[in-house]
Amino acid sequence: MKTIELIVPCYNEESCISLFYDRIKEVFLNMPGCEFIITFVDDGSKDNTIQEIKKVVERVDTGKVQYISLSRNFGKESAMYAGLSKSVGDYVAVMDADLQHPPELLKKMLDAIENEGYDCASARRVSRKGDPLIKSVLSRAFYHVINHVTVIDLVPGSTDYRLMKRKVVKAIVAMSERERFTKGIYAWVGFKNKWIEYENVERIAGKTKWNIRGLFHYAYSGFLAFATTPLRAVIYFGMFIVMVSVLYAGYIFVGTLNSDAERTGYASIIIIMLFLGGVIITILGMIGEYMARIYMEVKNRPIYFVRESNISDNEQNETSNIP
């Protein structure tokens, strides 16, 4: 009998935990022949999320429920990595606790893997109904830009929600980088994947943790994680500035030869100096971002720390993968 393990990262989701389990249990009952494990990863929640998870553990009557509570809020990416690195299921799925990832898709995902020869099956949101217009516009712009400047190909509307074979999970866990962008990692590791489309779903309870600023930071991190194009663009821009400078110098030289008037051009010089100063600062900032990420990687810090867990092979303060 195959085991399906659900990795559920949680941050301040106390109002969703019980509702999530009840909904998942209904899906489990409609998928005979499979054993289920639900692994909640509490990402340092400030509310009663971990207490709600423990209540579910006490009343569980279908499948197995376990939890990992991190020592602080490391971020969703680290929480997903924590769950994946501790997973044991034959098939592993990552999904949100707010039920914006429809659990009913699991049956279609499993069918794609077992009967159609896919290594994984991923959910793709085909509409953003209910989301603010600005989010929809920025989302489309993000996918357009990142697909043109990176080596990965992100499908618009792709989510973290996917069911994977064990070999796919091992490949993702092997990428132990500290600055993580899971959507990009999914695309980078490859494997045969089937996209399963669904309409946007509202949260079952609670409030979203994502705002425009958070989404921008997430997109920016993904961009830096897989793109070296900005550094190449800096080289091209520098060459362009040199060419413009040579042409302008030639123009000044020729103009001086053909005129008796002295060419001061103080305003032009000041404008050019300010422009080049701004360009240099921008370039240094960009290079600094890449250097800072290299610095964080070479320090080789653990991706997360575990505060408590009911998984037998875990101990308090156990760390993640430490090469």
CATH code of the domain in which 134 resides:
3.90.550.10
Same domain for 158 and 19, yes or no, is yes
Q: Give the span between the Cα atoms of 71 and 58, in whole angstroms.
A: 22
Same domain for 64 and 154, yes or no, is yes
Same domain for 137 and 257, yes or no, is no
Same domain for 171 and 256, yes or no, is no
Q: Give the span between the Cα atoms of 201 and 99, in whole angstroms.
A: 8
Q: In total, how many domains does the chain have?
A: 2
Q: Say if CB 227 and CB 219 are below 8 A apart.
A: no
pLDDT on residue 41: 92
Same domain for 201 and 239, yes or no, is no
Angle at which helices 212-226 and 266-298 cross, to 10° = 80
| Neighbouring C-beta atoms of residue 180, cutoff 10 Å | 22
Whether 215 is covered by a domain: the verdict is no
Same domain for 274 and 200, yes or no, is no
pLDDT on residue 278: 74
pLDDT on residue 294: 80
pLDDT on residue 132: 64
pLDDT on residue 314: 44
Q: Give the span between the Cα atoms of 70 and 42, in whole angstroms.
A: 6
Same domain for 94 and 153, yes or no, is yes
Same domain for 197 and 291, yes or no, is no
pLDDT (tens, 9 = 90+) of the chain, 323 residues, equals 788 899 999 988 888 888 888 888 888 888 877 888 889 999 888 888 888 888 888 887 666 889 899 988 888 888 889 889 888 888 999 998 888 888 888 888 888 888 888 998 988 888 766 666 676 677 777 777 777 777 777 777 788 888 999 988 998 888 887 778 878 788 888 888 888 888 877 777 767 666 667 667 777 777 777 766 767 777 777 777 777 777 777 776 776 666 655 555 665 676 677 777 777 877 787 777 778 778 777 877 888 888 888 887 644 334 444 33
Whether 54 is covered by a domain: the verdict is yes
pLDDT on residue 273: 75
pLDDT on residue 12: 87
Same domain for 72 and 174, yes or no, is yes
Whether 153 is covered by a domain: the verdict is yes
Q: How far is CA 225 from the centre of its chain?
A: 10
User: Which ranges of the chain does DSSP label H, i.e. alpha helix?
Assistant: 17-29, 49-59, 76-86, 105-116, 133-149, 166-174, 182-189, 212-226, 229-257, 266-298
Q: HEC string of 164-203? A: EEHHHHHHHHHCCCCCCCHHHHHHHHCCCEEEEEECCCCC
Nearest to 79 by CA among 294, 320, 322: 320
Please state the pTM of the whole predicted model: 0.73
Same domain for 35 and 179, yes or no, is yes
pLDDT on residue 62: 60
Range of the domain at 253: 229-298
Whether 216 is covered by a domain: the verdict is no
pLDDT on residue 243: 76
pLDDT on residue 163: 92
